[in-house]
Chain A
């Protein structure tokens, strides 16, 4: 059983749901990303998605596009991110998942990418523009290296759900909304039904992401899914850190980091078993 699946199992035994935050690596610097990830682990993040910055992030809205641009402008490239993961691995309890577009993986080499992921201690990989039909080589490389290639299921997947689940590893990433990443005020009313539908096809845990940005939404999703993924709402709070850093105001950097972590903690809280102490 993979480390990610074990994480979910432990949570389930405690009646708890997974909190899965996302940050873009190197935004605004590798150093700050590293600090934020350590803090997220400390406040109880169960799986942490680490975004590899990319020039053309097709599945992302403006918030994460801006984060990627900040990281790339700071000169952050794939080896920097992998080195960061290597340093973090022994220090964090959370499972670590690399979120990357397909082209950086292709240029690195598919086989080599999964080998490197294993070697630096990543537990899973998400490639949003690599649909099942193009995944054959990546699935094999993932299995060989014991790194989960986590599939996405969309609101439009319908007849495709069965085959997506059949090839799934780690957990199923259930896309909450039509569209790109970014906070939305309301969740689709069909969401519980979509998750239930996915669960009919798999025993893997199901986590919901895209558009989730409030503790109330996390609580609602926690009632029917196994995990909640929060990206843009956190990344939006990296913006002020970047601004403070650019202005050389280190006190403000610390303050904004604290605000981000407090917000993250508020997202995890409703996912703990009722009455549990934080």
Chain B
């Protein structure tokens, strides 16, 4: 998620607007300027503001240390942004003497002199790039950004200078940007214009929802597409149009943010797993706690998005497929919340394995229909959901639970799940001041992995590792290691890696975790694997079971069996890495639903 800073605030009205829009930073200019304010004015302006406020950034030019410390105190500053000739030593000293972050503003020279920026990487918390004259409201050549990143390493980069609602989209589409800083671009006749501020914030948030893949045909490289019966084609085309329209609608964006926040409890925390880290004795391990979401897994992120889309497009009825039941429960939950009629398809086998989730769904008013065809698991539940959709396409919205299915579903689900990665990015920058070195997530269809990977795709320094379930082992026939052992093929409307025989008959998958028990994988993962942007590794049932117990015992967190696969990979990986290596694991869900299966697997313990 691109961070938003609005600078040069002088009035309470503008400040309140930023609170309302949940801007990340508000800038007060203490240097000589037509927007200059004093520490005392700011203290008055921000008096009696609650906890939920943007961080306060003070803007200074060659101010003395003493005065900086005084103003920071009075104006309740969180960040000191320095625009003068402050030396790296000065920045270090300042950072040591206050609890504030220190940002260095840099006038882009677009020549060798920009290399001097390198001296600041260890002593400030962010770099703000501006044109070389500063505060004139003019753009610097954005083409210089990639070269500048080489000097600033993993420091967050804010872009300033000449931004306004009509050009910020272009910036975000063409350059990796951690934050944007705007001032004169949201003013009319030298005064902050509340409508322009809103337009700017909306534009940035929209841009965060757009992407380069898939292409017009719904392809991620050669993968993806729409391999469905003709009956569904019009509905998919309509869904694509609705998605484009509604996800740009400020009301939709606002409602989704609202429910994610107050209903699901986002942001979820990024937890430093100290005990696990010490036990493994290598890399530093953080857990992205998606298990803390309402309903206990990341699935709700997507269901809120698609549920709102169903509601806003006037559909009264939704259907979903589910494996372990987590997506089914999340869909039933959102349906209860939004007043939608809900039908969930679930393999007969999985209904038996996951009785608790079946009961939860029914409790929330959903109808659960057993899929009795084929292997009676997730694959067949998905077949049944698609068949049902073909028949009821005119009044029914199909909420797909993972980054699978025909275009536009893999894109939609990814966009609704990217909040996992967006938050992770912001949190790790706050905690460590840099990006992680490795991100690990389990992959069945791959929605939690795609969600946490996506915002890091352009950060070449971040290793992305997807963990597949290899069941009883990749040398047996009982596994779900789609990328490791599959070949490109078509399943559920999408061209992707697939477990199949030589004639294209789909082969049954196996995993102890019902959520990973799937013979296909999201097409974007197939693309990431082919382009080597991400690597995919197998973890067995036994390894997952061990990690399930390990994390429970030493961190007091019972992970879902799906997430336990990701943990198992970290258990292998972390000890081989140095202590300053940072790993983030997506802890996609909680393990309460799995205690029966685990107890059974561990030797017939009755729970």
A residues sitting closer than 8 Å to B (CB atoms) are 54-56, 58-59, 61-62, 65, 72, 77-79, 101-108, 128-131, 133-134, 151-160, 164, 175, 178-180
Residues of chain B contacted by A79 (CB below 8 angstroms): 503
Please give me the 9 A-B residue pairs with the lowest Cβ-Cβ distance, nearest first.
A179-B391, A107-B504, A154-B231, A103-B504, A104-B504, A103-B490, A55-B505, A154-B230, A152-B230
Q: Is B165 an interface residue (CB 8 A)?
A: no
Tell me if B504 and A106 are in contact (CB < 8 A): yes
If over half of B's interface residues share one DSSP class (helix, strand or loop), that class is named, otherwise mixed; here it is: mixed
Closest to A133 in B: B226
Bound complex: CA of A158 vs CA of B387, how far in Å? Answer: 20
Considering the complex, give the chain B residue whose CB is closest to the CB of A159.
B234
Interchain CA distance A157-B225 in the complex, whole Å: 18
| Cα-based distance from A101 to B392 in the complex (angstroms) | 22
Could you give 17 example pairs across A and B, Cβ below 8 Å? Answer: A55-B505, A62-B373, A78-B503, A103-B506, A106-B490, A131-B227, A133-B226, A134-B225, A154-B233, A156-B231, A156-B232, A156-B393, A157-B233, A175-B230, A178-B390, A179-B231, A180-B390
Known A56-B506, A58-B386, A180-B391; contact A107-B489, beta-carbon cutoff 8 A: yes
Selected contact of A107 from candidates B230, B392, B500, CB within 8 Å? B500
B521 within 8 Å of A (CB atoms): no
- Please report the C-alpha to C-alpha distance between residue A160 and residue B488 in the assembled complex, in whole angstroms: 29
| Closest-CB distance, A153 to chain B (whole angstroms) | 7
Does B393 contact A178, Cβ atoms closer than 8 Å? yes
Chain B residues positioned under 8 Å from A178 (CB to CB) = 231, 390-394
CB <8 Å contact, A131 and B503: no
Q: Chain B: interface residue count, which band?
A: 35 or more
B8 to chain A, nearest CB (A): 50
B231 contacts across to A, CB distance below 8 A: 154-156, 175, 178-179
Please report the C-alpha to C-alpha distance between residue A164 and residue B505 in the assembled complex, in whole angstroms: 28
Q: Name the residue in B217, B373, B488 with the highest tally of chain A Cβ atoms < 10 Å from its Cβ.
A: B373
* Closest partner residue, chain A, to B508 (CB atom): A55
* Given known A-B contacts A130-B227, A156-B393, A77 and B235 have beta carbons under 8 A apart: no
Distance of A258 from chain B, by nearest CB (Å): 30
Q: Is the CB of B227 within 8 A of A102?
A: yes
- Which chain B residues lie closer than 8 Å to A152 at the CB level? 229-230
Q: Are A108 and B234 in contact, CB atoms less than 8 angstroms apart?
A: no
- B45 lies within 8 A of chain A by Cβ: no
Report which of A54, A101, A131 forms a contact with B233, defined as CB distance below 8 A.
A131
Kindly state the separation between the CA atoms of A61 and B384 in the bound complex, as whole angstroms. Answer: 9
The answer to whether A129 and B379 have CB atoms under 8 Å apart is no
CB neighbours (8 Å) of A157 from chain B are: 230, 233-234
Q: Which residues of A contact B500 (CB under 8 A)?
A: 103, 107
Contact at B227–A134, with CB atoms within 8 Å?
yes
A130 to B374, CA, bound (A): 22
Interchain CB contact under 8 A, B503 and A77: yes
List A contacts of B235 (CB < 8 A): 156
With an 8 A cutoff between CB atoms, is B493 at the interface?
yes
Task: List residues of B (374-419) whose CB comes within 8 Å of A's CBs.
Answer: 374, 379, 383, 386-387, 390-394
- Asked if B557 is at the interface (CB within 8 A of a chain A CB), the reply is no
The answer, among B226, B487, B492, B502, for a CB contact under 8 Å with A134, is: B226
The interface residues of chain B lying within 8 Å CB-to-CB of A101 are 490
Contact B229 A59, beta carbon cutoff 8 Å: yes
State whether B502 touches A131 (Cβ < 8 A): no
> Nearest chain-B residue to A72 (Cβ)?
B505
The reply to whether B225 and A108 form a contact with Cβ atoms under 8 Å apart is: no
- 18 further A-B pairs in the complex, CB-CB below 8 A; given A108-B504, A156-B234: A61-B387, A79-B503, A103-B491, A106-B495, A107-B489, A107-B500, A108-B503, A129-B227, A129-B229, A133-B225, A133-B226, A134-B226, A154-B231, A154-B234, A160-B233, A160-B234, A175-B230, A178-B231
Instruction: State whether the Cβ of B31 lies closer than 8 Å to any Cβ in chain A.
Output: no
Q: How far is the CA of A56 from the CA of B371 in the complex (A)?
A: 13
**Is B61 at the interface (CB under 8 A from chain A)?**
no
Flag if A179 contacts B390 (CB, 8 Å). yes
Judge if B228 is at the interface, Cβ distance under 8 Å: yes
Q: How far is the CA of A267 from the CA of B383 in the complex (A)?
A: 31
The answer to whether A58 touches B229 (Cβ under 8 A) is yes
* Neighbouring B residues of A54 by C-beta, 8 Å: 504-505
Of the candidates A61, A158, A159, A178, the one having the most CB atoms from chain B within 10 angstroms of its own CB is: A178
**Complex interface: chain A residues within 8 A of B393 (CB):** 156, 178
A56 and B379 CA atoms in complex are apart in Å by: 9
The interface residues of chain A lying within 8 Å CB-to-CB of B233 are: 131, 133, 154, 156-157, 160
Known contacts A152-B229, A156-B231, A157-B230; is A56 also within 8 Å of B392 by CB?
no
B385 to chain A, nearest CB (A): 10
CA distance A157 to B488 in the complex (A): 29
Closest-CB distance, A152 to chain B (whole angstroms): 5
Q: Report the minimal beta-carbon distance from A179 to chain B, rounded to whole angstroms.
A: 3
CB neighbours of A59 from chain B (8 A) = 229, 387, 390
**A62: which B residues are within 8 A, CB to CB?**
373
The listed residue (B228, B379, B491, B498) touching A131 by CB distance below 8 A is B228
Q: Which chain A residues lie closer than 8 Å to B217 at the CB level? A: 133
The A-contacting residues of B in range 229-274, CB under 8 angstroms, are 229-235
Determine the residue in chain A with the shortest Cβ distance to B387. Answer: A180
CB distance from A126 to the nearest CB of B (A): 11
CA distance A74 to B234 in the complex (A): 37
Choice from A103, A128, A130, A158 contacting B234 with Cβ under 8 Å:
A158
Instruction: List the B side residues contacting A72 at CB < 8 Å.
Output: 505
Q: Which of A72, A107, A130 has the most CB of B within 10 A?
A: A107
B491 to chain A, nearest CB (A): 7
What residues of B have a CB within 8 angstroms of the CB of A78 in the complex? Answer: 503-504
**With A178-B231, A180-B391 as given contacts, are A58 and B383 in contact (CB-CB < 8 Å)?**
yes
Give B348 Cβ to nearest chain A Cβ, in Å. 14
- B502 partner residues in chain A, CB cutoff 8 A: 107
Find chain A residues with CB under 8 A from B506 CB: 55-56, 103
Tell me which of B233, B391, B490 has the highest count of chain A C-beta atoms within 10 A of its own C-beta.
B490
B232 CB contacts on chain A under 8 angstroms: 156
Within the assembled complex, what's the spacing in Å between the Cα atoms of A55 and B232? 21
Q: CA of A180 to CA of B385 in the docked complex: distance in angstroms?
A: 12
> Contacts A104-B504, A108-B503 hold; do A129 and B228 have CB atoms under 8 A apart?
yes
In the assembled complex, the Cα of A164 lies from the Cα of B233 at a distance in Å of 12
* Nearest neighbor of B218 in chain A, beta-carbon distance: A133
CA distance A179 to B235 in the complex (A): 13
Docked CA distance A2–B262 (Å): 63
Q: Give bound CA distance, A103 to B488, whole Å.
A: 9
The CA-CA distance from A128 to B232 in the complex, in Å, is: 11
- Which of B227, B231, B391 has the largest count of A CB atoms less than 10 A from its CB? B231
Measured between beta carbons, the chain A residues less than 8 angstroms from B234 are 154, 156-160
- The CA-CA distance from A134 to B227 in the complex, in Å, is 7
Contact between B229 and A55 (Cβ–Cβ < 8 Å)? no
Taken residue by residue from 121 to 160, chain B's Cβ proximity to chain A (1 for < 8 Å, 0 otherwise) reads as 0000000000000000000000000000000000000000
Q: Tell me whether B391 and A58 are in contact (CB under 8 A).
A: no
Q: Is the CB of B503 within 8 A of A153?
A: no
Instruction: Tell which of B225, B229, B489, B502 has the most Cβ of chain A within 10 Å.
Output: B229
Q: Once bound together, how far apart are the Cα atoms of A179 and B228, in whole Å?
A: 12
Whether the pair A164, B230 counts as a contact (CB closer than 8 A) is yes
Distance of A160 Cα from B502 Cα, bound (Å) = 35
